[in-house]
């Protein structure tokens, strides 16, 4: 499958901990987007990378960070986790910043206890 | 600031009835508007974009800059249209932030 791949699919951890979510974009896609979806919330835009560089930032907390590596996969690091960080985290990719269509992964469901 | 508003969390219609999913946006420049759909157990996927001005699965959406709206319409709803629909806006000015609304769940009743 050459679609967007996210790991892990499910993650349960405790408050105060740190986790890393991984995203592999579609083959050939240079742009990666991260979104957070909490209960009854829409998709909250966190951050976007294009070919390794940060291009746009949304309401991403300082406790969260991300990066895109030379092989174009991306990681979202969440630290000092709080109960409110429990959410579905989506990664999406696109060929470039102009094309417009986003291709989504299945999401990583994070539960903070 | 960019903002997308979908006022309805849930919309229930009967099969064969017309459907209109509302989307209003706030953006100072010239935005690109999109509708994404998530069917049960499937990934979120693009349904249509305003630039294409096309009809997909019988759905159309017209960008109304005066009313800052991009409502999704279908004249006759089908049961397979039941899904979660998200309106999205992509700005420009070199930032290309891609903002989504909170989504509307469409239920088409038999």
Distance CA A41, CA A53 (A): 28
A49-91: pLDDT as tens digits: 999 999 889 989 999 999 999 999 999 999 999 999 999 999 9
- Average pLDDT of A93-100? 78
Are B100 and A106 a contacting pair at CB < 8 A?
A: no
Are B98 and A33 a contacting pair at CB < 8 A?
A: yes
Smallest CA–CA separation between B103 and chain A, in Å?
A: 6
Say yes or no to pLDDT of B93 above 70. no
Say yes or no to pLDDT of B53 above 80. no
- Average pLDDT of A16-32? 95
Residues 40-99 of A with CB under 8 A from B: 40-43, 45, 48, 55-56, 58, 90, 92, 97
Are A42 and B103 a contacting pair at CB < 8 A?
A: yes
Q: State what percent of residues in chain B have pLDDT above 90.
A: 73
Q: Which of the four pLDDT bands, split at 50, 70 and 90, describes residue B43? A: very high
Q: Which of the four pLDDT bands, split at 50, 70 and 90, describes residue A39? A: confident
B25-B90-A88-A1 Cα dihedral, nearest 10 degrees: 140
- Average pLDDT of B43-47? 95
Are A100 and B103 a contacting pair at CB < 8 A?
A: no
Q: Which residues pair with A44 in a beta bridge?
A: A36
């Amino acid at each position: 499958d050459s679609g967007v791949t996210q790991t892990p699919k499910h993650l349960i951890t405790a408050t105060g901990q740190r986790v890393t979510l991984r995203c592999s974009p579609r083959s050939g896609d240079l742009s990666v987007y991260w979104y957070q979806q909490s209960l009854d919330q829409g998709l909250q835009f966190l951050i976007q990378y294009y070919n390794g560089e940060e291009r746009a930032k949304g309401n991403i907390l300082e406790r969260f960070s991300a990066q895109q590596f030379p092989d174009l996969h991306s990681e979202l690091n969440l630290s000092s986790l709080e109960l409110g960080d429990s959410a579905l985290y989506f990664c999406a990719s696109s060929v470039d910043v102009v094309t417009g269509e986003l291709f989504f992964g299945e999401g990583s469901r994070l539960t903070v206890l | 600031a960019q903002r997308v508003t979908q006022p309805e969390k849930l919309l229930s219609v009967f099969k064969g009835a017309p459907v209109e999913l509302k989307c209003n946006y706030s953006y100072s420049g010239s935005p690109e508007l999109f509708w994404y759909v998530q069917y049960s157990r499937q990934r979120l996927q693009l349904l249509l974009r305003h630039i294409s001005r096309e009809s997909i699965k019988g759905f159309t959406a017209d960008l109304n800059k005066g009313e800052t709206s991009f409502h999704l319409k279908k004249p006759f709803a089908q049961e397979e249209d039941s899904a979660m629909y998200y309106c999205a806006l992509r700005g420009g000015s070199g930032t290309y932030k891609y903002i989504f609304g909170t989504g509307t769940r469409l239920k088409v009743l038999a």
